[in-house]
């Protein structure tokens, strides 16, 4: 027997209350029972996104939200600026190319955050850029970008929007959509929102809708304007993922009970304990700056295969972490602490990493990292 622990950066564990809610008998989405649930979650999402904007709810993974954030606001030939500090930053340019957008990509060393001045310079150089695409938290490297600073740079450009992939950020740390002036903010269900995969959420500002009105919409399903019109009538354009939306209702209740400050405070504490615990065990973080509170990427020690650490965690100890992607494969492994996570998830992770390294013959003092994590996690 091997108990299973889900410490990958999505899907993350789903709370029992939410699983039970989703096990309710199915009901129809064009019926009063659904209307009430949908109105409640639409309201709750505004609270979570810290916005007055309508937050679109799409039956899609986060990538669907990213795709629609290109096809809805830009037309073929339009100029866009993308920030590539990892696997997901890279995806922006790929998506732009699919929709024949003319891309300028700022490459950031994986493990580092964007220097906002580079964005300021790029916009100055090419004021025809209609949208800047960035991650709030780059899942492949465990680094967060300074969204507040980027928003301040983009704001003065009246025809340029800032699009934020907050898929591993929203509900983890503070993202002030309206206060900072974020035009499009995207997240997915399977991260801090503690749901199974299957829903994407997108907040769209009036400035972004203005851009959408000028754009040649090149998509049918990810047509945000159509979705928006329907959702303002408390309906969806296409069949919604009913059970996930019922689960979302439960998730929002839980998050409201804890409060945004409570959630962010817990996530920050867990992230700190994970980072300092692993460092106390002798490991080095991959993030050279601005580590994301959502997940921690760790360098495999010299001479130890990162993929083997990742595999041993799963096979020997039942812990699903994540390995490195692309050129980081074998060099890092990643542990998530976002969503339905509490103190002992960190204790488990740090203890297990110590045990795996010990088992691989790496010199590690059992309990050394755990002790540090315990100190930070004291109630």
> Binding residue for a second copy (CB under 8 A) from 254, 260, 268, 308?
254
**Binding positions for a second copy, 128-157, rule CB under 8 A:** none
The least distance separating a second copy from the CB of residue 371, rounded to whole angstroms, comes to 3
Residue 317 contacts a second copy per CB under 8 A: yes
Residue 200 or 283 having the CB closest to a second copy = 283
Q: What are phi and psi of 72, to 5 degrees?
A: -80, -35
Give the chain as a 3 state SS string: CCCCEECCCCCCCCCHHHHHHHCCCCCCCCCHHHHHHHHHHHHHHHHHHCCCCCEEEEECCHHHHHHHHHHCCCCCCCEEEEEECCHHHHHHHHHHHHCCCEEEEEECCCCCCCCHHHHHHHHHHCCCEEEEEEECEECCCCEECCHHHHHHHHCCCCCCEEEEECCCCECCECCCHHHHCCCEEEEECCCCCCCCCCEEEEEECHHHHHHHHHCCCCCCCCCHHHHHHHHHCCCCCCCCCHHHHHHHHHHHHHHHHHCHHHHHHHHHHHHHHHHHHHHHCCCEECCCCCECCCEEEEECCCCCCHHHHHHHHHHHHCEECEECCHHHCCCEEEEECCCCCCHHHHHHHHHHHHHHHHHCCCCCCCCHHHHHHHHHHCC
Q: Which stretch binds a second copy (CB under 8 A): 100-108, 159-167, 323-331, 367-375?
A: 367-375
Residue 55 or 370 having the CB closest to a second copy = 370
Residue 105 or 174 having the CB closest to a second copy = 174
Residue with tokens 């199974």: 196
The least distance separating a second copy from the CB of residue 345, rounded to whole angstroms, comes to 8
Q: Which stretch binds a second copy (CB under 8 A): 116-124, 198-206, 245-253, 261-269?
A: 261-269
Residue 370 contacts a second copy per CB under 8 A: yes
The least distance separating a second copy from the CB of residue 176, rounded to whole angstroms, comes to 22
Residue 2 contacts a second copy per CB under 8 A: yes
Q: Which stretch binds a second copy (CB under 8 A): 108-116, 217-225, 232-240, 346-354?
A: 346-354
Residue 378 contacts a second copy per CB under 8 A: yes
Total of residues contacting a second copy (CB under 8 A): 39
Residue 265 contacts a second copy per CB under 8 A: no
Residue 345 contacts a second copy per CB under 8 A: yes
The least distance separating a second copy from the CB of residue 258, rounded to whole angstroms, comes to 5
| Pairing of the two strands 199-204 and 143-144 | unpaired
Residue 332 contacts a second copy per CB under 8 A: no
> Binding residue for a second copy (CB under 8 A) from 23, 39, 100, 232?
23
Residue 3 or 327 having the CB closest to a second copy = 3
Residue 1 contacts a second copy per CB under 8 A: yes
Q: Please list, in sequence order, all residues whose beta carbon lies within 8 angstroms of the beta carbon of residue 367, skipping any fewer than 6 positions away.
A: 351, 354
Residue 321 or 348 having the CB closest to a second copy = 348
Q: What are phi and psi of 79, to 5 degrees?
A: -95, 140
C-beta atoms surrounding 5 within 10 Å: 18
Residue 23 or 100 having the CB closest to a second copy = 23
Q: Which two three-digit tokens encode residue 217?
A: 């919409």
- Map residues 273-312 to x or -, x wherever contact with a second copy holds by CB under 8 A: ---------------------------------------x
Q: Which two three-digit tokens encode residue 346?
A: 């960190």
Question: Does residue 50 contact residue 177 with C-beta atoms inside 8 Å?
Answer: yes
Residue 374 contacts a second copy per CB under 8 A: yes
The least distance separating a second copy from the CB of residue 28, rounded to whole angstroms, comes to 21
Residue 5 contacts a second copy per CB under 8 A: yes
Distance of CA 283 to the CA centre of its chain: 25
> Binding residue for a second copy (CB under 8 A) from 347, 360, 361, 363?
347
The least distance separating a second copy from the CB of residue 356, rounded to whole angstroms, comes to 8
Binding site for a second copy (CB under 8 A): 1-3, 5, 23, 254, 258, 262-263, 266, 312, 316-318, 340, 342-345, 347-348, 351-352, 354-355, 358-359, 365-368, 370-372, 374-375, 377-379
């Amino acid at each position: 027997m091997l108990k299973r622990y889900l410490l990958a950066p999505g899907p993350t564990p789903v709370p029992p209350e939410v699983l039970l809610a989703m096990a309710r008998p199915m009901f129809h989405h064009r019926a009063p029972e659904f209307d009430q649930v949908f109105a409640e979650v639409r309201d709750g999402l505004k609270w979570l996104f810290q916005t007055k904007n309508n937050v679109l709810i799409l039956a899609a993974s986060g990538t669907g939200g990213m795709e629609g954030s290109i096809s809805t606001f830009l037309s073929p030939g339009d100029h866009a600026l993308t920030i590539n500090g990892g696997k997901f930053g890279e995806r922006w340019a790929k998506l732009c190319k699919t929709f024949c957008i003319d891309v300028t990509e700022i490459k950031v060393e994986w493990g580092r955050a964007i220097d906002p001045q580079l964005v300021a310079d790029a916009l100055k150089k090419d004021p025809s850029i209609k949208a800047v695409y960035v991650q709030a938290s780059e899942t492949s490297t465990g680094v967060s970008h300074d969204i507040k600073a980027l928003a301040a740079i983009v704001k003065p450009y009246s025809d340029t929007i800032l699009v934020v992939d907050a898929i591993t950020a929203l509900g983890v740390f503070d993202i002030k959509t309206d206060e900072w002036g974020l035009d499009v903010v995207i997240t997915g269900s399977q991260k801090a929102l503690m749901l199974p995969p299957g829903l994407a959420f997108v907040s769209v500002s009036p400035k972004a809708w203005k851009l959408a009105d000028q754009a040649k919409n090149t998509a049918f399903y990810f047509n945000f304007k159509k979705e928006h019109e329907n959702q303002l009538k408390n309906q969806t354009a296409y069949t919604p993922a009913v059970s996930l939306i019922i689960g979302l209702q439960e998730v929002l209740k839980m998050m409201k009970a804890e409060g945004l400050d409570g959630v962010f405070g817990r996530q920050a504490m867990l992230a700190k304990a994970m980072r300092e615990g692993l460092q106390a065990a002798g490991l080095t973080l991959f993030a050279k700056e601005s580590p994301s509170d959502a997940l921690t990427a760790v360098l495999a020690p010299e001479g130890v295969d990162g993929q083997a650490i990742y595999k041993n965690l799963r096979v020997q100890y039942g812990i699903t972490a994540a390995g490195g992607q692309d050129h980081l494969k074998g060099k890092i492994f990643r542990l998530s602490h976002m969503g339905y996570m509490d103190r002992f998830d960190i204790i488990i992770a740090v203890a297990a990493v110590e045990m795996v390294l010990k088992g691989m013959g790496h010199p590690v003092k059992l309990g050394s990292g755990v002790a540090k994590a315990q100190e930070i996690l004291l109630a």
